[in-house]
Amino acid sequence: MLAVVYGVCSRDSLDGRTLLIRGFGQREHWRMEILRVDRLSKRFGSTWAVRSLSFSIHTGEVVGFLGQNGAGKSTTIKMLCNLVRPTEGDIFLNGKSIISSSDARHRQKLGAIVESPRFYPALSGHRNLEMLARIYGVGRDRVDALMDQVGLSEKASHRFGTYSMGMKQRLGLAAVLINAPDLIILDEPTNGLDPVGSRQIQDLIGELAREHHVSVLLCSHQLDEVANLCHRALVLHEGKLHLEMDLAEPKGIEAIKACFDDLAREGAAL
Amino acid sequence: MIGELARQEGIKLFSQKYPYLLAALVIAVEAAYMIATAMKPAETSLDVVTAPQLWAQGLGWGLRFEVYAILVIGGMGISREFSLGTVKTVLILPIRRYQWILAKLLGLVLLSWSLLIVVVGLGLVIAAISPGWGDVLRDGVRLYTAGQVWGNLALASGLTFVFMLPVCAFALLISSFFSSSGAAVGVTLLLGIVLETVTEMLDLGTWLFIHHLYRPFAMIEKLGKGLPFRWGETAAWGSTVALVTFVIFAGLLIFRMGRVDITD
Residue B183 falls inside a structural domain: yes
**Using a CB-CB distance cutoff of 8 angstroms, which residues of chain A are in contact with residue B88?**
81, 83, 114-115, 118
Interval B54-79 mean pLDDT: 89
CB contact under 8 A, A119 and B95: no
Region B107-121: mean pLDDT is 92
| Of A69 and A267, the one with more pLDDT | A69
**Is B264 domain-assigned?**
no
pLDDT digits (tens, 9 = 90+) for B71-87: 999 999 999 999 999 99
Instruction: Report the residue from A83, A116, A135 with minimal CB separation from B95.
Output: A135
- pLDDT at residue A125 is higher than 90: yes
Asked if the model's pLDDT at residue A50 lies above 90, the reply is: yes
Q: Does B5 touch chain A (CB under 8 A)?
A: yes
**Cα torsion through A235, A241, A247, A253, rounded to 10:** -40
Write down the mean pLDDT value for chain B.
83
* B148, B137 Cβ separation under 8 angstroms: no
Tell me the chain A residues in contact with residue B87 when contact means C-beta distances shorter than 8 Å. 83
What does the alpha-carbon distance between residue B150 and residue B227 come to, in Å, rounded to a whole number?
16
Mean pLDDT of B5-15: 87
> Looking at chain A from residue 153 to 172, which residues have their Cβ under 8 Å from any Cβ of chain B?
none
Residue pair A183/A217 in contact by the 8 Å Cβ criterion: yes
Chain A residues within an 8 Å CB radius of B3: none
Q: Are residues B262 and A84, on separate chains, in Cβ contact within 8 Å?
A: yes
Of A9-18, A147-156, B95-104, B220-229, the range with the lowest mean pLDDT is A9-18
Q: Which of residues 52-111 of B touch A (CB under 8 A)?
A: 84-89, 91-96, 99
Span B182-240, pLDDT tens digits: 999 999 989 888 887 777 776 665 666 666 666 666 666 665 555 566 666 677 777 88
Question: Does any domain span residue B212?
Answer: yes
CA distance A83 to chain B (A): 5
- The boundaries of the domain holding residue B169 are 2-258
Q: Using a CB-CB distance cutoff of 8 angstroms, which residues of chain B are in contact with residue A137? A: none
Q: How far away is chain A from the Cα of B252, in angstroms, using its nearest Cα?
A: 18
Helix, strand, or coil (residue A57): strand
In this predicted structure, what is the pLDDT of residue A193? 77
Residue B23 has pLDDT above 70, yes or no: yes
- Of A7 and B50, the one with more pLDDT: B50
Q: Which regions of chain A does DSSP assign to beta strands (E)?
A: 18-22, 28-44, 47-58, 62-67, 88-93, 96-97, 110-113, 183-187, 215-219, 232-237, 240-246
Task: Please determine, for residue A127, whether its predicted confidence score (pLDDT) is greater than 90.
Answer: yes
The shortest CB-CB distance from B16 to any of A116, A122, A136 is to A122
| Chain A from 92 to 111: CB within 8 A of any B CB | 102, 104-108, 110-111
pLDDT digit string, tens, across residues A213-244: 889 999 988 888 888 889 899 999 889 988 88
Pick from A84, A105, A116: which is nearest to B261 by CB?
A84
Is the per-residue pLDDT at A194 higher than 60?
yes
Task: Quickly state the pLDDT bin for A24 (edges 50, 70, 90).
Answer: very low
What does the pLDDT look like over B158-184, one tens digit per residue? 888 888 999 999 999 999 999 898 999
How many domains is chain B built from? 1
Taking a C-beta distance cutoff of 8 angstroms, is the pair B263, A79 a contact?
A: no
Contact (Cβ atoms closer than 8 angstroms) between residue A57 and residue A6: no
A-chain CB neighbours of B259 within 8 Å are: 85
Residue B243's contacts (CB-CB under 8 Å, 6 or more residues apart) are: B162, B165
Q: What is the ipTM of this complex?
A: 0.81
Tell whether B57 is covered by a domain: yes
- Please judge whether A135 and B91 are an interchain contact, meaning their C-beta atoms are less than 8 angstroms apart: no
Would you say residue B46 lies in a domain?
yes
At A76 the pLDDT is 94
Whether this prediction's pTM lies above 0.90 is answered by no
Which of A134-143, B39-48, B189-198 shows the lowest mean pLDDT across its residues?
B39-48
Position B219 scores a pLDDT of 65
Q: Which residue has the higher pLDDT, B122 or B153?
A: B122
Q: Kindly tell me the burial class for residue A45, based on how many C-beta atoms sit within 10 Å of its own C-beta (0-12, 13-18, 19 or more).
A: exposed
Q: What integer pLDDT is reported at residue B28 of this predicted model?
A: 92
The predicted pLDDT at position B97 comes to 92
Can you tell me the mean pLDDT for B233-248? 83
**Cβ-proximal residues to A252 (8 Å cutoff; 6+ apart), any chain:** A233, A245, A246
- Put simply, the answer to whether A135 touches B89 (Cβ < 8 Å) is no
Q: Which residues of A touch B11 (CB under 8 A)?
A: 123, 127, 131
Asked if the structure places residue B96 within a domain, the reply is yes
Q: Where are the beta strands (DSSP E) in chain B?
A: 136-138, 141-144
Q: For A62-91, what is the mean pLDDT?
A: 91
What's the confidence (pLDDT) of residue B37? 83
Q: Which residues on A lie below 8 Å from B95 (Cβ)? A: 104, 135
Domain spanning A6-269, CATH architecture: 3-Layer(aba) Sandwich (3.40)
Higher pLDDT, B131 or B150: B150
CB contact under 8 Å between A81 and B94, yes or no, is: no
* In chain A, residues 112-141 whose CB comes closer than 8 Å to chain B: 112, 114-123, 127, 131-132, 134-136
A84-88, A97-101, B210-214: range with lowest mean pLDDT = B210-214
Backbone torsions φ then ψ of A264, nearest 5 degrees: -65, -40
Of B86, B94, B262, the CB nearest to A120: B86
The span from the CA of B145 to the CA of B182, in Å, is: 49
B15 touches A: beta carbon within 8 Å? yes
Residues of B with CB below 8 A from A127's CB?
Answer: 11
Residue A213 distance to chain B (closest CA, Å): 21
Q: Per residue, what are the HEC states of B145-160?
A: CHHHHHHHHHHHHHHH
Measured CA to CA, the distance from residue B68 to residue B21 in angstroms comes to 13
- Taking residue A86's Cβ as centre, other Cβ atoms within 10 Å add up to 22
Q: Are B19 and B77 in contact (CB under 8 A)?
A: no
CB-nearest to A118 from B16, B86, B263 is B86
Q: Which of A110, A118, A134 sits opposite B4 (nearest CB)?
A: A134
Average pLDDT over residues B47-74: 84
Kindly determine whether residue A84 and residue B12, on different chains, have CB atoms separated by under 8 Å. no
